Amino acid sequence: MKQTRICRLLGIDHPLFQGGMLWLATAELAAAVCNTGGLGIVSPYAAMARDGDPVENLTAQIARTRALTNKRFGVNIPLDLRDSGLLIDCLIKEKVDLAVTAAGSPALYTEVLRSSGVTVLHIVSSAKQALFAEKSGVDGVIAAGCEAAGRIGFDETPLFSLIPQVSQAVRIPVIAAGGIVDGKGMAAAFALGAEAVQLGTRFVATVECIAHPRYKQAIIAAEDHDTVVTCRSLIPRRSLKTTFTQRLVELDRASATAQEISSVLGYRTTRIAQIEGDLNQGEAFAGSSVGLIKEILPVSQVVGSILDGYEKTINEIR
């Protein structure tokens, strides 16, 4: 596996990230990825009790990660969270030196983060957003295509159209995210200009992930047509097709208002599905390549398989 600018910037062996999934990106999962030479990312809400405090939870997750790995790791901070400012303060106080920001303006906290010695990566879904993030001072952008699980861009641009356009727009490194689950996808992303890849759904179906067994089983049972994009009048999002997402589809068809959709949605519905395992009352995020995931494996095997698959693909092309 070649060393890219991202590897040198972050001090990692392999240009492979684990996504900072809101309820699921625990210290155990992140550390397992870090210990393979990739980059693990922790979420402030991971493994948090229903009525927990995200700042206290993040502090505990950071300490736990440091107990499990001596490698560099990051923290995911969605900027639209009520406590985003407090979480930024916590990250700086705990001397974590890598932040992944999303769902808001990169101009908001990038300066204060970088002045505190924190490397900043920001998630974008268009070349315009990437250019603004670069001008805001971020160190790299994560270009997320519409194949991604969870929230996606309003333009719903596919990843393989997005990567080359973002790569041409900015000088900073580009990390590709959305629908990548194996070495072939990694090789394709690199060919289009990415310098690293980020995977989410593939890491849900791992031994180390705390996702409910029913959620994991639904992922490995899914086929290529088993995800759907909903909530287009609010914030588009990709999930497994379930009874719950059918309700959201019907709301979209009825031209429901954002307020009407929000009343059904609520951010804890993702917890209900992903942590509690009720896929009929909650939202089970999944990327569009979910049909390629057929086993629940340890993180080390997942990463090893991706890296081997990448090398095999490159050698076949040569």
What share of the chain has pLDDT > 70, as a percent?
99
Instruction: Report yes or no: 181 and 202 within 8 Å, Cβ to Cβ.
Output: yes
Is residue 134 one of the residues assigned to a domain? yes
Is residue 131 one of the residues assigned to a domain? yes
Question: Per the structure, how many domains does the chain have?
Answer: 1
Instruction: Report yes or no: 110 and 98 within 8 Å, Cβ to Cβ.
Output: no
The three-state secondary structure class of 175 is strand
pLDDT in tens, 225-269: 999 999 887 889 999 999 999 988 888 888 877 777 887 776 678
pLDDT in tens, 11-48: 999 999 999 999 999 999 999 999 999 999 999 999 99
Is residue 167 one of the residues assigned to a domain? yes
Q: Which of 4, 68, 53, 18 is nearest to 198 (CA)?
A: 18
- Which phi-psi region, left, alpha or beta, contains residue 137 (left: φ > 0; alpha: ψ -120 to 50)? left
pLDDT of residue 267: 61
Is residue 48 one of the residues assigned to a domain? yes
Contacts of 12 (CB under 8 A, 6+ apart): 6, 37, 38, 39, 71, 72
> Which residue bears the tokens 């999002």?
237
> How confident is the model over 61-72, as a mean pLDDT?
97
Is residue 294 one of the residues assigned to a domain? no
- The rounded distance, in Å, linking the Cα atoms of 204 and 285 is 10
pTM: 0.93
Is residue 287 one of the residues assigned to a domain? no
Is residue 309 one of the residues assigned to a domain? no
Which residue range(s) make up the domain with 137? 5-210
Task: Report the CATH number that the domain containing residue 47 is assigned in CATH.
Answer: 3.20.20.70
Is residue 240 one of the residues assigned to a domain? no
